[in-house]
Amino acid sequence: MNKDVITAIEQIVSRDEIYKNELMSRHTTFRTGGPASLFIRPNCLDELRSVIKLLKRAEVDYFILGNGSNLLVSDKGYDGVVISLGKFADIRIEDETRIIAQAGAMNSAIAMTARDNELTGFEFAAGIPGTIGGAMIMNAGAYGGEMKDITRQVTVLTPDGDTIKLDNNVMKFGYRTSALKGKNFVILSAALELQKGNKEEIAAAMQELALKRKEKQPLEYPSAGSTFKRPEGYFAGKLIEDAGLKGFGVGDAAVSEKHCGFVINKGKATSYDIYETIRRVQDIVYEKSGVKLEPEVIMLGEF
């Protein structure tokens, strides 16, 4: 990466929040991925805005990172700047039933805040292991709920450095997608509209869903959750199992035996292993059932 750009970033973000050639395996739940040329963690909105404007001007690629829980980064790494919003994690309550969460806040932390303040509606998301920023981009959902149902408004930083507010309908939430997916907009915060509820009931619902996850999902292995989107009229896991692919894999990546919808890292998998497993599963399922599986996982870098 151009040295002048690095020098300019060093004048904006404090040096201890700038990492060169940072291995992305440290920042993805797959625990794989090569180095990002630069990895930065801005401390405040002014820093973030200045960096975004600089990178746009210099035509340098950047990627906004949440918790890396839906992300496969190439073993060759990423020739650009990864921007972590780890410092943007405040959660507060407004008008009794509204939670305002900064983009880097974890869903689990928001769920605890909702429970402690007797607010219901976020239970479905308590076990989704990402940030609310990532959840907005993906319209994350589980057990019959999705972000679309509870999002009132999203505050966003545009590539030109302007802060704008987008209402739910403008976000165009769809199945694991939104209007901002793949765009260079940064989600800064989300306003979530919940309802008054009963603390014990909220806690019990969260616990029940956590148990279901533990029972059904291979949480003991690194993964990115469901690897494929649900094809209309089918379940990806069932198609994969019916194609005889339970346990199938390349290198140390495998289709989970517990839940065929998950590709897992058995220990020493590379991103290539995972990518090849995904690709071959797609081919074989298509051959056997005629259904094209589309990855839900986001790929970053060259494969």
Ligand X SMILES: Cc1cc2nc3c(=O)[nH]c(=O)nc-3n(C[C@H](O)[C@H](O)[C@H](O)COP(=O)(O)OP(=O)(O)OC[C@H]3O[C@@H](n4cnc5c(N)ncnc54)[C@H](O)[C@@H]3O)c2cc1C
Q: Is 14 in the active site? A: no
Q: In the complex, what is the shortest distance from the CB of residue 81 to ligand X, in angstroms, rounded to a whole number?
A: 12
Q: In the complex, what is the shortest distance from the CB of residue 208 to ligand X, in angstroms, rounded to a whole number?
A: 14
Where do we find the tokens 């201890």?
16
Contact in structure between 221 and 256 (CB atoms under 8 Å): yes
Please give the residue ranges that form the binding site for ligand X (CB under 6 A): 29, 63-71, 85, 103, 128-131, 133-135, 137-138, 140-142, 186-187, 217, 219, 223-225, 298
Amino acid identity for residue 258 in this structure? K
Q: In the complex, what is the shortest distance from the CB of residue 76 to ligand X, in angstroms, rounded to a whole number?
A: 18
Whole-number Å distance between alpha carbons of 292 and 101: 36
Q: Give the burial string for 15-49 (b: 16+ CB within 10 Å, else e).
A: eeebbeebbbbebbbbbbbbbbbbbbbbeeeebbb
Please compute, for residue 46, the number of CA atoms within 13 A of its CA located in the half-sphere on the CB side: 3
Contact in structure between 228 and 263 (CB atoms under 8 Å): no
Amino acid identity for residue 34 in this structure? G
Q: Is 226 in the active site? A: yes
Quick one: 35 or 68, whose CB is closer to ligand X? 68
Q: In the complex, what is the shortest distance from the CB of residue 297 to ligand X, in angstroms, rounded to a whole number?
A: 8
Whole-number Å distance between alpha carbons of 70 and 64: 12
Q: In the complex, what is the shortest distance from the CB of residue 51 to ligand X, in angstroms, rounded to a whole number?
A: 13
Quick one: 120 or 155, whose CB is closer to ligand X? 155
Which residue in 74, 84, 178, 226 is the catalytic one? Answer: 226
3-state SS class at 153: strand
Whole-number Å distance between alpha carbons of 90 and 282: 40
Give the pairing of strands 62-65 and 78-84.
parallel
Quick one: 33 or 130, whose CB is closer to ligand X? 130
CA-nearest of 258, 255, 257 to 281 is: 255
Q: In the complex, what is the shortest distance from the CB of residue 35 to ligand X, in angstroms, rounded to a whole number?
A: 17
Which residue in 84, 115, 176, 178 is the catalytic one? Answer: 176
Quick one: 71 or 205, whose CB is closer to ligand X? 71
Q: Is 176 in the active site? A: yes
Quick one: 267 or 290, whose CB is closer to ligand X? 267
Phi then psi for residue 263, to 5 deg, are: -95, 130
Whole-number Å distance between alpha carbons of 91 and 144: 24
Quick one: 125 or 250, whose CB is closer to ligand X? 125
Which residue in 22, 47, 146, 296 is the catalytic one? Answer: 296
Where in the sequence numbering do the catalytic residues fall? 176, 226, 296
